[in-house]
Chains A and B, each alone.
Chain A
Amino acid sequence: MDKMSQYSFVAAFISVALATVLYIVYAFAVRRQLSAGGSGTGTVAVASGRGELGSYGTTLAALGFVFLTLSLILRAVVTGHGPFANMYEFSIAFGWGIVGAYLYFERRYRLRALGAVVMPVATLLLWYASTVPSDVQPLVPALQNSLLLTVHVAVAIVAYGTFAVSFGAAALYLFQREYDVMWLPATDLLDEVGYRAVVVGFPFMALVIILGAVWADVAWGSYWSWDPKETASLVTWLIYGGYLHARAIRGWRGTRSAVLLLVGFGATLFTYFGNLFFGGLHSYAGL
């Protein structure tokens, strides 16, 4: 069963990596006909070729998502708890969240070019997962709370996944602002998608922190102890909170907003990997 989970993971890794390549080619490969500004049939033919590439990308990404789901389910069956207890499991779950959130936004806004920025992040995470020990480790006493373990981390994955999408939108926004590539999405739409992704992720991030506080209160008798991971997640949440306030009330749009989103995702990754560098209460599981 564990073997099947790992095969499934490898299949997912390959699918996601291939999808990433297709997305990048789809979005950034410069065709002579296009850059020559050709109009008429030539452009249309190339455009439909691009579209085909992109749709293969989507198919592969969806396939990767299915394999990731399968891998996580099998892993949960093997370990008997939510597949979130060490860096291997958590990284696969994070990758799952990114691919899932990305596919949702691609479908919702028909923004395939976003995949060229978001999917590499998922690929890197899955690559990272493949480098850490994958053996099933028993749960240390602090983690023996299957309800909170499952919910706390599952919610985190949704938040992180949507933040990755907002990062992709912001990065592509900045790129478009500079180069204004004709076949890539308009800046306005990218700005909006970045915002929508944060709108989904922000309440989830609040929930992550709250559930973490609940758990800390149960396990350690203190809902907040300025543990590095706690603090990093608060910083992340505050950055996105700042982004939302700046946008809603100060009317921030465009470059400033996009930069804030990049910083926000930097903080997200810092929160995710933080305990590799710093000790603290989360470090027992290498999480």
Chain B
Amino acid sequence: MSDTDLSRQPTPPARASADVEPAGFDPVDQLWRLFSSVKLALGLILGIAALSLVSVLLVQAPGDVAPGSAEYAAWLQRVRPRYGALTDVLAALQLFSAANSPWMRLLLSVLTANTVVCTLNRWPRIWRTVFRPTVRASDATFESASQRQELTLGRPGDAVAALRSAFARRGFRVLVEDGPTTYLYADRHRLGRLGTLLTHLAVILVLAGALVTSLWGFRNPEFAVPEGSTRQVGFGTGLAVKAEAFVDEYYPEGPPKDYRSDLVLYDKGVEVKRQTVRVNEPMSYGGIRFHQAFFGPAVVLQVRDEAGKVIFDDGVALAYSMGDRPLGHFDVPDRKLAGYVIGPASGPGDTSLRAGQVRVDVLKDGSRVGGDVLDQGQPKTIGGLSYTFVRERQFTGLQVVKDPGAPVIWVASAVMVAGMMAVFYFPHRRYWARCRTRPDGQTQVSLAGVARRHPGFADELGKLVEELSGRGAPGGGRPASRRAPGAPAAAMASPSKGSSSSRRGGGHNG
């Protein structure tokens, strides 16, 4: 904390390297300077805001559709009517996936570097301000600080004691440097200073958490399990989920009331958990969570071989769609068969497929074996095997998530809120006092104060002086409390600190 800094009232303790004298061309130094610039941070923040706004204003491609893929091209065709000739330009700029675009990544990476460098740059000065404050302020400070007062107190020892106890009573820490002229430093909420640091650390931590999520997490948003069936979770987890039942309930007025699945979880074939999962009540096990996400119709299908032996008996979730019709997929591994089950479209429009019927198409090595419409309970033969549509059921759609980044995000969030509370609600207040002995034996006390973000600061110093004066100086009937030399009343109570004295006109009294 340099002395001159004290006189520059709203100036932050560290002013990055803007103050550093330029000395020759040094690429590392130049880079450091660029990254320690708050102007850059401002530009980046507003840039991220702008890009985010783009993602709200423009229709965005679904998250799992990567630019360049065939799906993406198909998606582009669908939005082309809306954006016309601009479509290709917007696509080339990757603005249809703004949040995941290289622009966003670039902005976020540079912002991270920027935040790290700014934090490192500021740390030494913040540390000194908090833990090694300057007790002995320069004379310039007492002449030009935004808040300053002069008063006369009794003998030097008494004056210092009075100051000390007045500050201590207000919860201030007081440091004293004795000498021919005694200096005193008092501050409160000094740890509030660290709030800025915490907040910026939290920003970095949030970005780190997002990185952890994308690197070590996995997500299957389309994990469909038909009632009565068991499905492997995959991703090398060794987990399997059985859906015992799915229920969708509605209010009499029509809106949905509850979606719930009774699930059983198996770890390497052993039952480890049983839970009813709802939208706001996921099941979690070993860092993996199962969220209720969607649901739909399912069909129980049975396949028998030529000898009548059952080679497939399972639910098929009709989780996809083909036009208006729900579509599901199944495999008969023994015969290397792949098949599709198509259900009737809801409503009366479907003429070729009625309620109570499904269509089954069977493929082997990519070529069609055959297909037919099945009525419930009536076996039909396709490619030599007998297929039966046993009954209709529902499937529950789960989102399976492993997200090791989430705890990092929550820690970061807590740190961020704590940091901001410290900065904004517990601002660091600092006072310096200089006690000079006058020829008449009285003590001339000069007080100077600095506090950003503390609205009642001017009042506090005033009250303090009143209180000190009230204690009375022995020998002096009227304690001398006067304004700083040359300072008009409005400048005394800092006009920017919300004091009512800076209002003008008699009209608006409170």
Question: Which among A71-79, A94-102, A222-230 touches the partner chain?
Answer: A222-230
Q: Are A220 and B399 in contact (CB under 8 A)?
A: yes
Q: Does B502 contact A (CB under 8 A)?
A: yes
Cβ proximity bits B460-503 to A, threshold 8 Å, 1 near / 0 not: 00000000000000000000000000000000000111101011
Q: Are B420 and A206 in contact (CB under 8 A)?
A: yes
A182, A217, A231, A245: which contacts B56 (Cβ < 8 A)? Answer: A231
Q: How far is the CB of B499 from chain A (nearest CB, A)?
A: 9
Q: Does B504 contact A (CB under 8 A)?
A: yes
Q: Does A188 contact B (CB under 8 A)?
A: yes
- Residues in B with CB closer than 8 Å to A242 are 42, 45-46, 49
Question: Which among A9-17, A105-113, A124-132 touches the partner chain?
Answer: A105-113
B41, B56, B496: which contacts A228 (Cβ < 8 A)? Answer: B56
Given contacts A110-B510, A210-B417, A239-B49, contact A185 B219 (CB under 8 A): no
Q: Which residue of A has the minimal Cβ distance to B53?
A: A235
- Interface positions, chain B 414-432, Cβ under 8 Å from A, are 416-417, 420-421, 424-425
Q: Which residue of A has the minimal Cβ distance to B405?
A: A223
- Interface positions, chain A 212-254, Cβ under 8 Å from B, are 213-214, 217-226, 228, 231-232, 234-235, 238-239, 241-242, 245-246, 248-251
- Residues in A with CB closer than 8 Å to B12 are 248-249
Q: Are A110 and B38 in contact (CB under 8 A)?
A: no
Q: Are B55 and A226 in contact (CB under 8 A)?
A: yes
Q: Does A269 contact B (CB under 8 A)?
A: no
Q: Are B45 and A138 in contact (CB under 8 A)?
A: no
Q: How far is the CB of B9 from chain A (nearest CB, A)?
A: 11
A196→B268 CA distance, assembly (Å): 58
Q: Are B55 and A189 in contact (CB under 8 A)?
A: no
A185, A235, A238, A251: which contacts B503 (Cβ < 8 A)? Answer: A185
- Residues in B with CB closer than 8 Å to A140 are 255-257
Q: How far is the CB of A201 from chain B (nearest CB, A)?
A: 10
- Residues in B with CB closer than 8 Å to A274 are 56
Q: Are A137 and B255 in contact (CB under 8 A)?
A: yes
User: Which one of A111, A199, A231, A241 has the greatest number of beta carbons of chain B within 10 Å?
Assistant: A231
Q: Are A188 and B56 in contact (CB under 8 A)?
A: no
A259→B378 CA distance, assembly (Å): 73
Q: Is the interface of B mostly helix, strand, loop or mixed?
A: mixed
Q: How far is the CB of B315 from chain A (nearest CB, A)?
A: 23
Q: Are A231 and B417 in contact (CB under 8 A)?
A: no
Tell me the total A-B contact number using a CB cutoff of 8 A.
180
Q: Does B376 contact A (CB under 8 A)?
A: no
B10, B413, B509: which contacts A213 (Cβ < 8 A)? Answer: B413
Q: Are A223 and B421 in contact (CB under 8 A)?
A: no
Q: Which residue of B has the minimal Cβ distance to A233?
A: B52
Q: Does A51 contact B (CB under 8 A)?
A: yes
Given contacts A199-B424, A218-B282, A223-B406, contact A206 B258 (CB under 8 A): no
Q: Does A47 contact B (CB under 8 A)?
A: yes
Q: Does A90 contact B (CB under 8 A)?
A: no
Q: Does B110 contact A (CB under 8 A)?
A: no
User: Which one of B46, B49, B282, B410 has the greatest number of beta carbons of chain A within 10 Å?
Assistant: B49
A43, A186, A235: which contacts B49 (Cβ < 8 A)? Answer: A235
A77→B55 CA distance, assembly (Å): 39
Given contacts A113-B508, A183-B507, A203-B417, contact A219 B52 (CB under 8 A): no
Q: Are A238 and B45 in contact (CB under 8 A)?
A: yes
Q: Does B151 contact A (CB under 8 A)?
A: no
A276→B279 CA distance, assembly (Å): 24
A274→B52 CA distance, assembly (Å): 14
- Residues in B with CB closer than 8 Å to A142 are 279-280
- Residues in B with CB closer than 8 Å to A210 are 413, 416-417
Q: Are B455 and A141 in contact (CB under 8 A)?
A: no
Q: A142-B280, A196-B498, A221-B291 are in contact. List 18 more A-B contacts (CB 8 A).
A: A50-B507, A107-B510, A108-B498, A113-B508, A141-B259, A144-B280, A145-B280, A183-B507, A188-B502, A189-B502, A199-B453, A206-B416, A214-B410, A220-B291, A222-B219, A224-B210, A239-B49, A249-B15
Jot down 29 A-B pairs with beta carbons below 8 A, ordered by A.
A34-B507, A44-B506, A46-B507, A140-B256, A141-B279, A144-B278, A182-B507, A184-B505, A185-B503, A189-B495, A191-B496, A192-B455, A196-B455, A203-B421, A213-B413, A220-B399, A221-B289, A221-B399, A222-B399, A222-B401, A231-B53, A232-B56, A235-B56, A238-B52, A246-B42, A248-B12, A249-B12, A250-B42, A251-B10
The 7 lowest CB-CB distance pairs between A and B, nearest first, are A110-B510, A183-B507, A221-B291, A141-B279, A238-B49, A203-B420, A47-B507
